[in-house]
Structure 1
Amino acid sequence: MVGATEPDTRPYLKLLGRVALHDCDGRDLTPKSRRSVCLLAFLALQRDGQATREKICGLLWSGRGDEQARDSLRQTLADLRRTLGARAKQLLRATRDTIGIELGELRVDVRIVEQMLAQGNPEAILFAADHWDGGLLEGLLSPDPEFDAWLSIERTYITEIFVRSADVALAVAVRTGCEPDLHKLAEYLIRIEPTNEAAHSALIGWALDKGNASAALRRYEACREAFRRDLDSEPPLALRRLAEAAQNPQREALSRQASGRSLTCRRLPSVALIARPPVGPPEFTNGLAGFLFEELVGALGRSHSLALLLPTHPDERLDATYTLTMNMWVDERRLQASFRLSRNIDRTHLLSERMDNENLGIVAESLADLDRIVSHVEYAIATDHRQAAKELEDAYSLWLNADQLTESFRPADLASAVSMLHRAAALDSGFSRPIAGLASIQLSYPMANPGNEATPQSFSEALALAKNAVAIDPWDARNHGVLGWAYYRTGLYTQGEREFRRAVELDPCDPLVLIAASEGLAYSGDANAAVKYAERAFLLHPAAPDFFHCFGLQAFAILGAYERALFHGSALRSFGLAEPLAWNAFALAKSARHDEARASTVAFLQVVENHWGGACNFSPAAALKWLDQIILVADRHRREEFLACIATLLTEVTGSPMPITTYTP
């Protein structure tokens, strides 16, 4: 029969949920030994399907000697061969140093899910959801603490990529009003992550929109039970407000009718997304155009800097401040797309962006291009809105102008920003960013005002503000970043690191979120994540401001990447803070550029002295003590290395020995 596909006769390995291995006829080939199961699962999840014997012994027999562990591995491998029978020769390969499996001869559910998620479109994500049958190796009793540690990381990674992809698909379903997808995705998310706020919000909000208050309240009760059971807390404020709306449906309906739109749309600049009919052969353009549009909707829908409006039919006119028009065409098997942003009131053109893909398909690089384009759209709108908002007193405009002021870190600018943020918070109590901004400024005061002693009470107040901002809008990634800094300042590094990672999960395409997470994770010692996020932040931002380079300088200096740190130091137009000058001097000294290091140390002293406001008189020793109190490096050895280097440089430029009294953060 033409077009028929050959049946797949490869064995199927199920790792999600309870482990099982079956051949194409359904015969059970699952190993009986726990360590055989663990060996098979570990190899199936390796990129090339193989690992060294030493690595495997360390995972499964970490408490035994080398010879005993290798003997145990040989016995486990023999047991696995017996279980696989005739299939063993096809599947297993072993050398003196390595053991592996032929990934091409085996279907693995985890890899199927990863391939589906990599496609990115909602249909593929729904297909992946159908294959999700529980957590990785669910119910398996780990045979060794080292294997348990490895499994914990793999479980977290696989869960995170599914939740992140499903969150995006859910946002598309909510925006486009696709009820079947919305319900299916939300239910899957809640099954995997019972306290997933976006999923609960989507289901409760959908019931409210349909006028079914009783269904909304039932959903909320299930949500509250999950939060109490898993987190020992009440649901966030945003979900509690939905419950209040369900209890007072008439008042909520009148409020919506009076405002004409949701609170979120009222406070943010609105953007109408228009997709022109694609040009090119329909067999190529139709599917690609729909997929590209859905990806763009998802990327814009994650933004907390704009409100996305979608027309329900081609001729609908939307009351939006801006219009983003997408054109797509295929020419000689080359996919191209253009994006044009304009201001609606006067048709002023603000931005043109373009995608160009030599292959007929959307690949990872194309989606990265799309993220960059959305980031540029946000930047263009924020810049334009800031110019137009000089005389406006709405909450968003006040926050936006205050946010720009805080970038300088000058005490006078911070004081002006505080006044504006208080006004913004008073105008719209449901807008979280002014509250997060107040927390951020409170955390910044010790760095901007050298010598002023930071009290635990002030940091505790900042922590309370940051927690309040997250409670108001738990989906705003920037709020979680501010909460991360607040935890760091109160000495809670584990909680702070968790918030930085959560921020990136929520919005991996916001340059400000990425650069903050980069510095935060550098302080905690996660070099790989810190470098990756910093590089992505600078790639996405169309005009990185000075504080980006400050963060980059400090992050790379902490990690020991001194040349990269100095690159960011040289890119700074001015140093508004003293701490980056100290890190610049440290990087220069470590690069054996001693004259420049001493010059940067002198500049550090000058900035500290010019802004000194401490109770004691300024002195180089007092400046060193202040620096000791404000740095956030968690690793004690790295912290002492930095302070010893600065003390040596201060001794060289002042001629007076510098005592170091290490401050305990």
Structure 2
Amino acid sequence: MAFDDWLAVERVRQPERVVVAVCAGLPDMIGRAAPIHIQEILRSLDRLDPWNEAIARLGFSADHAAGDIASLHRRYRRLCDGLTKEFGVDPSTETQTMFERLSTMGTPAPVGPVVAAPSASAVLPTVLVSPIETITDDRVSRDIAEVLTDDIRTALAPYREIRVVALAADVASVKDTVADALAAYVLTGKIRLIGAQIRLNLQLGNIATGIIVWSDQLSVEQTNLSTAIDDVVAKAVGSILPAIESDITSMPELAAYAGADDIILFAKARRLMSFDRTLPEIQAAAAMLEEIVERNPRHVHATIWLARMYNTDFWQKIAGHDVAAFRARALDLARRATAYEPSDGRLLLRLSWCYLRSRNWLRADRGFRKAITQMLNHADSMNECAAGLCILGELEDAERYMQRAFALNPAAPAHYHADHAVLLMLKGDAQAAEEHFEVCGERGLMYLAARLANAAYLPAFDQAEREVLLVEFTTLFHDAWQTERELTLSGALDWARDTLPFKLAEHAARLRNGLEAMLSATWPANLRTTR
């Protein structure tokens, strides 16, 4: 009996001693040992004590030292989810502060110039950029505040889906300017000097509701002001644009707008596309965009989204049909719009994806690289360019630009992690890929296929999770099957090949072989649609 009591105590105490000892020695190894070895140690610690914040903070340091901002975000998201689910709490202030500090450091330098463009229609969402204030009355803070205000305005100006206004005094002084805007926001900021560091707090608020839709605390080091200011501007602009789109697409009053004004119609279509919608709803959104394009062929944003929908077959909600007509329509839309606006980076990005799916590798590669130089601060577009380069097999370049997207947008959406997981799968790091798939929550059919394929290369993959993924994928695929042809395993594999058209044979084989290995034992080969 005494031995059993001792053994029970030791079974708890020994793992705790291991965790304490390793945590004490690991900081000295970070930056010196190979990152792959550090990651293996951290995974072992996670298995011993999964929601230990000290371990998570060590992971933050290791990710930052390796320049892996994507993994830093993944680790923080996993910790937040775990603490909420298991204990109903958020991470400690120390952990949150460390994440915020490290996620704002080391943003890659810009890769080209920013070119201003004229503002658009009077009812566009409007951003009032207020002069950044200084709390400490010193020359350095005042100069930085002035430069940041001007640079943020200049960097926001090229994005024609918003209107940028310089706010000279207060919101009331420009009330008439924003009265006709679909939504109006004010960007404010305060700077204070703390030793050799300039601390900047930024907030973006919806003027009508008073709700803060985005905020961040950034640091500017006086030792390298030019680079630090560029990093802050890139981070701010890369976060502001997704925050505005998210806020607008969730506006309940959109339904109350009558008529067919292009901007209102576009906002309604984007709302229909922004959630896990049904196929009829997405088709309705496509019809709205077609109406806009027919009336105004130069409407860049309607063209971009319509071409994207057709080129991805309504985000994989249609499978098994002849894709030729959709792909041809997408290519035609992208080409026409690019002829009108040859310098628009997002049109060039959309055209590059059309070339990619038609396996015009050279044009796709050139287009993605040119688009990147024109969209320095647009995190979503940066990530999408990187995903395209990933499919082309340019994994090192894709990795670099994906890391930049994570650095630009601290509230990285699920598909950032899913795209990075696909890249890691192609690199052969199945474990790291699964870690990103696990935290992202992305349930798109394409990503489910990639996750299943990746799981085939993980011998210890959880059997229960495997069954959940299999059921989810086969159910969604059956629902998406838009033809009376027999739904076979071969058809599913061909669909995966066309949806993720990897240029390199070894990458295509990794997807197909992995997916076939996971599906072959259970796939309902004689299943037919009931439509």
Q: Where do 1:98-497 residues align within 5 Å? A: 165=112, 167-168=113-114, 171=116, 264-276=120-132, 278-310=134-166, 317-318=173-174, 319-320=177-178, 321-345=184-208, 349-357=212-220, 359=222, 362=225, 364-386=227-249, 387=251, 388-392=253-257, 393-407=260-274, 408=276, 410-426=278-294, 428-445=296-313, 447-455=316-324, 457-497=325-365
How far apart are the structure 1 equivalents of 2:510 and 2:243? Answer: 42
Please tell me whether the aligned partners of residues 426 and 510 of structure 2 are also in contact (alpha carbons under 8 angstroms): no
Q: Give the TM-score of the pair, scaled to structure 1.
A: 0.54
Query: Given the two structures, how large is their TM-score scaled by the length of structure 2?
Result: 0.67
Change (3 A) 1:557 1:356: same
Q: Distance in 2 between matches of 1:607 and 1:276?
A: 49
In the alignment, the residues of structure 1 paired with residue 433 and residue 218 of structure 2 have an alpha-carbon distance, to the nearest angstrom, of: 32
Matches within 5 A, 1:541-560: 541-560=409-428
Alpha-carbon contact 1:341-1:351 (below 8 Å) kept: yes
Counterpart CA distance in 2 for 1:440 and 1:508 is 21
Q: Which residue of structure 2 lines up, in the alignment, with residue 589 of structure 1? A: 456
Closer, same or farther in 2 for the Cα pair 1:509/1:562, shift >3 Å?
farther
Which has the higher Rg, Structure 1 or Structure 2?
A: 1
Q: Are 1:550 and 1:568, in contact at CA under 8 Å, matched by a contact in 2?
A: yes
Distance in 1, matches of 2:449 and 2:289, equals: 31
- Look up the match of 2:473: 604
- Amino acid of the structure 2 residue aligned with 1:382: E
Q: What code does the residue aligned with 2:154 have?
A: G
Structure 1 residues 354 and 653 mapped into 2: Cα distance closer, same or farther (>3 Å)? same
Shift in Å, 1:493: 1.3
**2 CA distance for matches of 1:437 and 1:493?**
22
Structure 1 residue 490 displacement after superposition: 1.7
Q: Measured at CA, do residues 558 and 402 of structure 1 come closer, stay the same or move farther in structure 2, by a change above 3 Å?
A: farther
Q: How many residues align?
A: 402
Q: Would the alpha carbon gap of residues 316 and 345 (structure 1) be closer, same or farther in structure 2, given more than 3 Å must change?
A: closer
Q: Deviations over 1:420-453 (max 9, x none)?
A: 2123335654321111211111111183212112
1:364-391 deviation per Cα after TM superposition (whole angstroms, max 9, x unaligned): 3553333222233223322333314333
- Does 1:617 pair with 2:480? no
Partners of 2:387 and 2:317 in 1: CA distance? 18
SS of corresponding position for 1:362: helix
Change beyond 3 A, Cα 1:475–1:316: farther
Kindly indicate whether the alpha-carbon contact (under 8 Å) linking 1:281 and 1:330 is maintained by their aligned counterparts in 2.
no
Q: Partners of 2:360 and 2:459 in 1: how far apart? A: 35
CA distance in 1, matches of 2:500, 2:142: 54
Is residue 119–residue 157 contact of structure 2 (8 Å, CA) maintained in 1? no
Distance 1:624 1:315 in 2: 56
Q: Percent identity?
A: 19
Establish whether residue 513 from structure 1 lines up as the match of residue 384 from structure 2. no
RMSD over aligned CA atoms reads: 3.2
Cα–Cα, structure 1 residues 444 and 340, in superposed 2: closer, same or farther, change >3 Å?
Answer: same
CA distance in 2, matches of 1:502, 1:409: 33
Secondary structure at 1:590 match in 2: coil
- Measured at CA, do residues 274 and 627 of structure 1 come closer, stay the same or move farther in structure 2, by a change above 3 Å? closer
Mapped partners of 1:628, 1:334: distance in 2: 51
Give SS of 2:120's match. Answer: helix
Query: C-alpha separation between the residues in 1 aligned to 2:439 and 2:195?
Result: 42
How far does residue 467 in structure 1 lie from its aligned partner after superposition?
Answer: 1.6
Matched residues in 2 for 1:589 and 1:569: separation? 14
Name 2:519's counterpart in structure 1: 650
Using a 3 Å threshold, how does the CA distance of structure 1 residues 617 and 555 change in structure 2: closer, same or farther? same
Assess, with a 3 A threshold, how the Cα gap between structure 1 residues 558 and 400 changes in structure 2: closer, same or farther. farther
Residues 511-554 of structure 1: CA distance to partner in whole angstroms, max 9, x if unpaired?
22122112111111111121122233234335444444443333
Mapped contact 1:487–1:496 kept (Cα < 8 A): yes
Shift, 1:280, TM fit: 3.8
SS of 1:537's equivalent in the other structure is helix
Structure 2 residue aligned with 1:630:
499
Aligned to 1:568: 436
1:532 aligns with 2:383: no
Q: Is the 8 A contact 1:553 1:564 kept in 2?
A: yes
Task: List alignment gaps of at least 5 residues for structure 2.
Answer: 1-108, 179-183, 526-531
Q: Secondary structure at the match of 1:652?
A: coil
**Structure 1 residue ranges without an equivalent (≥5):** 1-160, 172-197, 199-261, 657-665
Q: Which amino acid aligns with 2:140?
A: F
- When residues 309 and 645 of structure 1 are mapped into structure 2, their CA distance, relative to the original with a 3 A threshold, is same
CA offsets 1:114-169 (integer angstroms, 9 cap, x no match): xxxxxxxxxxxxxxxxxxxxxxxxxxxxxxxxxxxxxxxxxxxxxxx99x55x32x
Change over 3 Å in CA distance of 1:361–1:314 after alignment to 2: farther
CA distance in 1, matches of 2:476, 2:512: 18
Paired residue secondary structure (2:173) = coil
Distance across 2 between alignment mates of 1:484 and 1:521: 10
